[in-house]
Structure 1
Amino acid sequence: MPPQQRLRRAPLCATLVLLATAMTSCSPGGAPSSSATPSRLSPGAARFTASSFTTIIPDRWSDKTKDRSAIASVNAEGTVVMLLYAPATAAHIPNEHIDVSMVAQPVPDDALEMFLESAAQNGATNLSRAQPFDLNGSTGIFITYDLKPSTGVALHEQDMLVNHGGTTYEIVLNTAQPDFAVQAPALQRVLSMWRWTG
Structure 2
Amino acid sequence: MSEFDKIEEMFQRIEGNMNQMNTKLDTLVSEMKLVKEENVKLKAQILEQEGKIINLEREVRKKNIVIKGVTDEENENENELRAKLQTIIQKISMNIDIKADTDQARRIGGYSKDKKRPIHVKLTKESTKLAILQNAKKLKESDIWIDQDYTKKTQEERRRLIPQLKEARKKGFKAQLKFNMLIVNDQIYKVEDLRKKEKWTKEIH
More helix by percentage: 2
Q: In terms of Rg, which structure is larger?
A: 2
The question of a shared fold, defined as TM-score above 0.5 by the shorter chain, is answered with no
TM-score scaled to structure 2, two decimals?
A: 0.24
- Ranked by relative contact order (alpha carbons within 8 Å, sequence separation 6 or more), the top structure is 1
